Structure 1
Amino acid sequence: MSLSQVDIDQRFEFGKELILRAGDLAMTYWKSLETLEVKSKGLQDFVSEADYNTEVLIKSAIKERFPDDAFFGEETGPTGIEGAEGIWVVDPIDGTQPFLMGMTSWCVSIAFVSQSQIEIGLVYSPAGNEFFIAQKGKGATLNGKRIQVRDAQTLNDGIVSVGYSNRTSPAQLIHMMKGLLENGGMYHRNGSGALGICYVASGALIGYIEYHINSWDCLAALLLVSEAGGRVNDFIADNGLHLGGKIIAASPKVFAQLDSFFPTK
C-alpha cells in the first residue's frame, strides 16, 4: 500500500523538526573543531565523528517514529530498502571539507522518497543561517519565504556551480568547464553540492552541473529546484539512488545548454 498524503505530511512536519536538531548537534562539533576526530575515506574525502554521530541521531529518530521506513545515509549506508514504501536519504554533513576548515558552506540534507518520487526536501545550513524547505507540489521556501529560480535567458545572466569529486576524471571536468566558459558562462564552487543546488532554487545561481554526484548529496535540493520553477534531470532513473549519476539543475532556458557540456564518455 502506497503512502497517503496524510502520511507524507506527517513525515514532512517530523523532518523539519529533526533536521534542526541534527543541525544543532553538528554545530556543537563545528564550534570545537580542534578536538574533532577525523579519518580519511580516500583522496580529498574525509569523515569525522560529527558526520557519523549526526547521522546516527537522524537515523535513530526516524526508526523510533517511522519504524517501517527505509534509511539510506552517507555514513551508515542503506537499511530496509527492499519493499519499503518510503526511503529517507540523508547526508548528515554535506561539505565535510569546508566544515573541517571552519568555513560555513556545509549543511544537513534530508530527502524523503516514495514510489521513486522525491516528496520532501530539507536542507539546513546552521552556520549560514539558511533553512531550505520543499514538499512536492507545495513550493519551496528559504527561511520561511517563497523562492523561485532566476529568470535566466542565457549563461550571461548568472553564475553556474560546477561540482567535482574523485569519481570524475580531470578530463571530464575540463570538458564541462570549457563548454561553460566558451559560451559566456562563469563558474562557482563552495564545497557543498546540496547548498549549490539550493542556490539555484533561490535564484542566487542559474545552474548546477556535476558529472557524478551521490543521491544523498542532491535529492533534497533537487526537489527545491523543481518546486521553485527550475528544471532538473531525472536523477533517480538508471538507479541513481544507489549508484549516483550526472546532475543538471537550472533555470529552464539554460538547462539544455548546460546539458550539452557533458562529455559523452
Structure 2
Amino acid sequence: MPDTPPSVAGLEARLAAAEHATREAGRLLLSHYDRRSQLVIEQKGLNDFVSIADREAEDAIAAILRPAFPEDGFLGEETGVSGARKADLVWCVDPLDGTSNFLKGAHNWCVSVGLWSKGEPILGVIYDPLRDELFAGADGIVPTVNGMPISVSTTGSIDKTSLGLGHNHRIAPAAFAVDAERLFSAGGSFRQVGAGALMLAYVAAGRVDGYFERHMWSWDAVAGLALIKAAGGRFLAYPQPGTALPKGGIVLASGPALYQVFVDLFQLG
C-alpha cells in the first residue's frame, strides 16, 4: 500500500467515482422516498432508524467504489468496517444521513461519501437528491456545488453568525443546553436541519457560518470536513488524538475568521 496520499490524478479518479456513487445512491433513495410508507423500519437506538433504503444505498455505493479501488478501506454506517483498520485510504460512507427526515417525508437528507488518509479528510461528496445538489471537492481540487465553485463564510462577528448546532442522544441534553446558552449569550444564533452531513456541506458553501456537534460518527463527518478544508475553512482535529476513526468525535468547523472564537466559546482549546 502507498505511504503517501494519492496524487491529484488519483484523487480526481476517486472524486469522479464518488460523484457517480452518490448519484446512484440518490436515485435509488428517491425511488424508496416515493413509496416510503411501504418500508419496513427498524430502530437501532433512541431516535435512530434504519430501513432497506439505507442498506440498498450503501450496497450501491460499495459496488462502485470497492471494485474500482480494492486497496482502499471501507467504513459504512450500515455495513461497518471492511479493511479500514489497515488501509492508508478509507472511504467513510453514510448512505442516508437524515433517515428520520426521509421517513417522515421531510426534505433534509443526503448521501455522504468521504475519503480519509492518514489522519486527514481529503475528499468529500455530499448529494442532496431532492434538491439535486451535489457538493464535491478534495485536496487540491476546487470544491463546487453542481459545478459552481464554493467557499466558506467570511463572517467575522459572532453577533452576525448562524451556526449549525447538532445534538444526538449520545450527548447529555444538559450539555447541549449549555452550548446553546453560550452561543445565545454571545449574540449568535443556530440552525438545525436534522442531517449533520448536509449542514457541513452548507458550511463549505457559506450558507451557514459553522457547525458544532459534540459527537459525530466518521461516516457523517469526513466528507463534510474535506469539503470545508477545500473551501478554505478550519476544523478541530478529527477525531481527537488517541481516538480511532470508527469511534468518531467532536466536530467544530467554520470559516477561518470565527474558528478560534468558537473554540474559545465552547471551551475546546
Task: Pick from 27, 31, 50 the counterpart of residue 30 of structure 2.
Answer: 27
Deviation track 1:57-97 (CA, whole Å, cap 9, x = no partner) reads: 11122222222221000011000123213111000000111
What aligned pairs does 1:158-173 form with structure 2 within 5 A after superposition? 158-173=161-176
Structure 2 equivalent of residue 244 of structure 1: 248
8 Å CA contact 1:162, 1:188 repeated in 2:
yes
Paired AA for residue 35 in structure 1: Q
Deviation track 1:168-218 (CA, whole Å, cap 9, x = no partner) reads: 101110111010000000111000001111111111111110111111111
How big is the shift at 1:102?
Answer: 0.7
Instruction: Count the aligned residue pairs.
Output: 264
8 Å CA contact 1:176, 1:263 repeated in 2:
no
Is 1:54 aligned to 2:70, yes or no? no
What is the CA RMSD across the aligned residues, in angstroms? 1.5
Paired AA for residue 71 in structure 1: F
| Aligned-partner Cα distance in 1 for 2:121–2:188 | 30
Paired AA for residue 115 in structure 2: F
| Aligned-partner Cα distance in 2 for 1:86–1:103 | 34
Unmatched 5+ stretches in structure 1: none
Structure 2 equivalent of residue 261 of structure 1: 265
| Aligned-partner Cα distance in 2 for 1:77–1:105 | 24
Moved more, 87-96 or 240-249: 240-249
Is 1:176 aligned to 2:176, yes or no? no
How big is the shift at 1:139?
Answer: 2.3
| Aligned-partner Cα distance in 2 for 1:105–1:203 | 17
Moved more, 40-49 or 150-159: 150-159
Moved more, 6-15 or 147-156: 6-15
Paired AA for residue 149 in structure 2: R
TM-score, normalization by structure 2? 0.93
Paired AA for residue 128 in structure 2: S
Q: Structure 1 240/208 Cα, relative in aligned 2: closer, same or farther at 3 Å? A: farther
Structure 2 equivalent of residue 206 of structure 1: 209
TM-score, normalization by structure 1? 0.95
Paired AA for residue 39 in structure 2: L
Q: Structure 1 38/263 Cα, relative in aligned 2: closer, same or farther at 3 Å? A: farther
Structure 1 equivalent of residue 66 of structure 2: 63
| Aligned-partner Cα distance in 1 for 2:197–2:235 | 14
1:139 is paired with a residue whose SS is strand
Unmatched 5+ stretches in structure 2: none
Structure 2 equivalent of residue 85 of structure 1: 88
What aligned pairs does 1:95-110 form with structure 2 within 5 A after superposition? 95-110=98-113
8 Å CA contact 2:17, 2:64 repeated in 1:
no
8 Å CA contact 1:68, 1:84 repeated in 2:
yes
How big is the shift at 1:240?
Answer: 5.2
Report percent identity of matched pairs.
33
Structure 2 equivalent of residue 73 of structure 1: 76
8 Å CA contact 2:240, 2:249 repeated in 1:
no
| Aligned-partner Cα distance in 2 for 1:262–1:96 | 28
Paired AA for residue 245 in structure 1: G
8 Å CA contact 2:240, 2:250 repeated in 1:
no
Paired AA for residue 68 in structure 1: E
What aligned pairs does 1:222-241 form with structure 2 within 5 A after superposition? 222-238=225-241, 239=243, 241=245
Deviation track 1:134-163 (CA, whole Å, cap 9, x = no partner) reads: 111222111111111121111222311100
8 Å CA contact 1:211, 1:262 repeated in 2:
no
